[in-house]
A and B are shown apart, each in its own frame.
Chain A
Amino acid sequence: MNLELRARPRLAAGCRLNEPNQGSRMLLMPERALRLNGPSLEIVERCDGAHTIQQIIIELQKIYSKAEPERVEKDILGYLTLLQEQRALDFAIEDTPGKS
């Protein structure tokens, strides 16, 4: 699947993080839960309808500055594709952040 770098992903209806005080962080969705580790949590927290995919990539490249930037980008696109296949994301391609 092709993801557009200017698209703003946000969690789809029925997808949300569990509470921070509940031990490991999980992405909860209909009849399913994904355990989130460091980078995947960083990505999901930025799927807020405000960040574009390009912005998520830039911010994570800064956080994981020891990793190859191309590798970070590839991993992020791979993870967003996985989330989309789980029907966990909606994408807005508009100029106004937060709308869909």
Chain B
Amino acid sequence: MTAIVLHPLALIAELTHRCPLHCVYCSNPLELMARRFELSTEEWTRVLGEAGKAGILQVDFTGGEPLARPDLVELVQAGRASGLYVNLITSGMPLDERRLADLVKAGLDHFQLSFQSLHEDDASEISGTRALEQKRQVVAWVRAHRVALTLNFVIHRQNLEQLEEMIAFGEESGAGRMEFAHVQYYGWAFANRERLLPTREQVERSITVLQQAEARLRGKVRVEYVVPDYYAKYPKACMGGWGRKLMLITPSGDVLPCHAAQVIPGLRFGNVKDQALQEIWDSSDAFQKFRGEAWMREPCQTCDRRAQDFGGCRCQAFLLAGDAAVTDPVCTLTPQRAIVDEIIAATNAATPAAIVTKPDWLYRANPS
């Protein structure tokens, strides 16, 4: 246990696991929560009030698809009334212009729309549904309502060749921000990793293209991206460090230090139905477990980078090395890097024919 008490900056509110899309890289857990277990409007309203009092600045309403909640307008209002900056992270699917106008009137600050691809067939293959036409329509509505817009492109082996097209579309769209998110390998994406992990050549090309776009569009559009960590030399500072900046609430009210934390065996999570948010942040087992440096072993324990990357990602350590308390295996300073090297060697050895073969996806399910 450590005595460090940090101040949470943002709250990720997974309002529901229900979603009209079935993306093969969904960040939700493999075991999805049914609607009957979701927190009520009153419970979320109380929690948002507690978040404002705890000094949290921003809330991300996400899911699943947050628009699947009929009370979303009320929740946006509750977020603003609690002093929070309200982000909506959405597929844009169950939306019409009238509902968008209601959300804006309720105080929605920022609209983040995800894209799978700008080619209907590719987008449908990834999301298991036809969504592209609606997304284009949503861009036009958002633009008309003068709401801050981020376009989020999830990028991977199957669509990295379309990067220039995505950038051009983003430039035309009126978005103030474009986010190029390499798939992160947890949950559904971990199950589909073989078909999603890009080649080294693809990754290197993507970095060059994105760096150029970032420089060219500076002052006009914020272009943000991260290097996919399997190809990085050091791990990412996952969530800005465990229990340092962010917390996530699941549809049923469990409070997690990150999206995937439920994969780690033995972690006990506080629930907002039983405990105050601040108390869960300060002292729950799950937040204390990997907060600070006391849990670290070598090479992290004496590493100069430990205050920069905090040992990397605990969930990735568990998924790849079977132990959540070891250094993230993407780190080139740990012998366990061999696990990652083996994975990327297999990816890069694949013949071009194997890449173009139609993949056998595991589609994200939908809870009842």
Contacts and interface: CB of A to CB of B under 8 A. Distances in A.
Contacts of A85: 218-219
A92 B346 CA distance: 54
A85 B55 CA distance: 27
Contacts of A26: 57
B148 A12 contact: yes
B177 A13 contact: no
B291 to A, nearest CB: 22
Interface stretch (A28-36, A38-46, A66-74): A28-36
Nearest to A84: B219
Given A30-B110, A84-B219, A13 B55 contact: no
A22 interface: yes
Interface residues of B, number: 22
A26 B109 CA distance: 15
A15 interface: yes
Nearest to B85: A28
Contact of B150 (A1, A15, A30, A86): A30
Contact of B222 (A19, A22, A28, A87): A87
Given A13-B147, A33-B57, A1 B109 contact: no
Given A13-B149, A29-B148, A30-B112, 20 more contacts: A13-B146, A13-B147, A14-B109, A14-B110, A14-B147, A14-B148, A14-B176, A16-B109, A18-B83, A28-B109, A29-B110, A30-B150, A30-B222, A31-B87, A33-B9, A85-B219, A86-B222, A87-B176, A87-B177, A87-B220
Interface in B158-200: 176-177
B221 interface: yes
A31 B83 CA distance: 16
15 contacts: A13-B149, A13-B176, A14-B110, A15-B148, A18-B57, A22-B83, A28-B109, A30-B112, A30-B176, A31-B58, A31-B110, A33-B9, A33-B85, A84-B219, A87-B177
A22 B51 CA distance: 12
Contacts of A33: 9, 57-58, 85
Contacts of B150: 30-31
Contacts of B87: 30-31
A87 B219 contact: yes
Interface residues of A, number: 20
Interface string B137-159: 00000000011111000000000
Contacts of B222: 30, 86-87
Interface string A35-64: 000000000000000000000000000000
Interface in A1-25: 1, 12-16, 18-19, 22-23
Contact of A28 (B58, B177, B218): B58
Interface of B: 9, 55, 57-58, 83, 85, 87, 109-110, 112, 146-150, 176-177, 218-222
Given A13-B176, A19-B83, A28 B148 contact: no
Contacts of B219: 1, 84-85, 87
Contacts of B220: 87
Nearest to B9: A33
Contact of A30 (B55, B83, B146, B148): B148
A8 to B, nearest CB: 17
A68 to B, nearest CB: 27
Contacts of A15: 148
Contacts of B177: 30-31, 87
Contacts of A22: 83
| Max chain B C-beta neighbours (<10 A), residue from A1, A14, A18, A19 | A14
**The 10 nearest A-B residue pairs measured at CB:** A14-B148, A28-B85, A30-B110, A87-B222, A13-B148, A14-B110, A87-B176, A84-B219, A13-B146, A33-B57
A44 B58 CA distance: 20
Contacts of A86: 222
A26 B9 CA distance: 12
B148 A23 contact: no
A69 to B, nearest CB: 26
Contacts of A29: 110, 148
A55 to B, nearest CB: 22
Contacts of A18: 57, 83, 85
A18 B79 CA distance: 13
